[in-house]
């Protein structure tokens, strides 16, 4: 006869709940975190007028807002 272990189902539920909560938090963070990558390009063929020129590519915002009127995006 098997011994009844009432905590066995509780452990499985805790593990599943923790995994689900981790995925939810990671998804929310991934959609609201800003990542900045800087690449410096040097080449003799680039005119001197482009010295200090910056190009910003903004993508995958998923309708997120970063401060009032997305002002936080302008800081970078």
- Reported pTM: 0.50
pLDDT digits (tens, 9 = 90+) for 10-56: 888 999 999 999 999 998 887 777 778 888 888 889 898 988 888 88
Round to whole Å and give the CA distance between 60 and 30. Answer: 10
Round to whole Å and give the CA distance between 56 and 58. Answer: 6
Structure confidence at residue 56 (pLDDT): 82
18-48 burial, b at 16+ Cβ within 10 Å, e below that, comes to eeeeeeeeeeeeeeeeeeeeeeeeeeeeeee
Cβ atoms within 10 Å of 61's Cβ, excluding its own: 13
């Amino acid at each position: 006869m098997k011994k009844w272990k009432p905590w066995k189902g509780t452990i499985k539920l805790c593990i599943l709940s923790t995994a689900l909560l981790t995925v939810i938090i990671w998804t929310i963070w991934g959609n609201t975190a800003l990542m900045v990558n800087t690449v410096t390009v040097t080449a003799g063929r680039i005119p001197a007028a482009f010295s200090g020129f910056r190009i910003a590519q903004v993508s995958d915002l998923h309708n997120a807002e970063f401060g009032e009127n997305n002002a936080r995006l302008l800081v970078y």
